[in-house]
């Protein structure tokens, strides 16, 4: 560790009470199993800890990136210069009141669905098959089966880059396809969903049906980051990729899944560069065949 990093770490350690790992491989924290070392990998203990960390980052001119389970991201092989902040260790509380479910950003989708079913609150069963967390799902307005996070959102709480806590109602947020107008410098802390009462047995039947469908259609046996591209209007990205002759295409250990063409899987030791080159090839072939330029759903960092 350089003298500068050693001094910075000492200052950081005085500010943050949560866990701090130095030069932690991001491959260990992403579903793609790809990514070099982060200068710091930090798990804040609570909201105050997170606010102090964001303030420290601003004063130090240090980049930071908040992640959940790392299910929709491709990190560079060179890693991340700055702090990667993990909310899955401490921001995991769920509560309910008068038909409203409040879930912190680090809550996994499966855990949220299970909680709702146990208490008879219906509407989020389709989330069961989506990996990731509430914060990440809201950030990208995750969706499946014709539904998306925005549909049942009541409000959310956010910590902005200045450390100010804000509540934002659904009507004040501009949602789009796999997007919401929350700046990347703002950190989603929790989401509140307005749900109706349902039959737990029927809800669990739906949950299992969604999980079975996902298992049948998606390549779950190898590391991936989920859907790579957004669906163009009126089209399915996977179908376009398949027809363009990309299914089974491989560069290094990165492979276009033979089960679902909108998935790139890591067959062993795929590098970020392998995936990037494969993405470029897919985009070029689809554009040449259909005149459509695919847009990434996958977040590429670095």
| Active-site residue identified among 57, 76, 155, 227 | 227
Catalytic (active site) residue 148: no
| Active-site residue identified among 33, 178, 207, 285 | 178
Euclidean distance between CA atoms 131 and 115, whole angstroms: 16
| Active-site residue identified among 104, 125, 190, 297 | 297
The answer to whether 131 and 31 have CB atoms below 8 angstroms apart is yes
The CA–CA distances, whole Å, from 166 to 50, 157, 160, 182, 240 equal: 15, 6, 8, 12, 41
CA-based radius of gyration for the chain? 20
Euclidean distance between CA atoms 52 and 40, whole angstroms: 15
Euclidean distance between CA atoms 69 and 135, whole angstroms: 10
Phi, psi of 49 (to 5 degrees): -60, -45
Task: Please name the residues in contact with 262: beta carbons below 8 A apart, sequence gap of 6 or more.
Answer: 227, 228, 229, 236, 237, 238, 241
Euclidean distance between CA atoms 274 and 169, whole angstroms: 41
Using CA atoms in the order 45, 82, 54, 103, what is the torsion angle rounded to 10 degrees? -50
Catalytic (active site) residue 227: yes
Catalytic (active site) residue 24: no
Please list the active-site residues. Answer: 178, 227, 297
């Amino acid at each position: 560790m350089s003298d500068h990093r050693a001094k910075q770490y000492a200052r950081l350690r005085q500010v943050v009470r949560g866990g701090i790992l130095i030069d932690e491989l991001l491959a260990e924290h992403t579903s793609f199993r790809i990514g070099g070392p982060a200068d710091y990998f930090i798990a804040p203990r609570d909201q105050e800890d997170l606010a102090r960390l964001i303030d420290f980052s601003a004063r130090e001119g240090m980049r930071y990136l908040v992640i959940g389970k790392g299910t929709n991201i491709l990190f560079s092989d060179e890693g991340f210069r700055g702090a990667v902040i993990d909310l899955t260790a401490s921001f995991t509380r769920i509560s309910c009141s008068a038909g409203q479910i409040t879930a912190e950003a680090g809550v996994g989708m499966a855990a949220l669905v299970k909680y709702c079913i146990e208490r008879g609150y219906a509407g989020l069963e389709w989330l069961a098959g989506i990996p990731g967390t509430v914060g990440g799902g809201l950030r990208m307005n995750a969706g499946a089966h014709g539904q998306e996070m925005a549909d049942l959102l009541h409000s959310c709480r956010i910590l902005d880059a200045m450390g100010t806590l804000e509540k934002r109602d659904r009507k004040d947020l501009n949602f789009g396809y796999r997007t919401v107008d929350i700046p990347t410098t703002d950190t989603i802390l929790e989401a509140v969903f307005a749900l109706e009462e349902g039959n737990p047995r029927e809800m669990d039947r739906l949950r299992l049906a969604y999980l079975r469908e996902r298992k049948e259609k998606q390549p779950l046996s190898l590391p991936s980051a989920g859907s790579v591209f957004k669906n163009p209007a009126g089209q399915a990205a996977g179908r376009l990729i398949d027809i363009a002759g990309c299914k089974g295409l491989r560069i290094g250990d990165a492979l276009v899944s033979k089960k679902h063409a909108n998935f790139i899987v890591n067959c062993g030791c795929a590098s970020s560069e392998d995936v990037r080159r494969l993405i470029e090839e897919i985009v070029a072939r689809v554009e040449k065949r259909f005149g459509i330029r695919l847009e990434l759903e996958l977040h590429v960092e670095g």
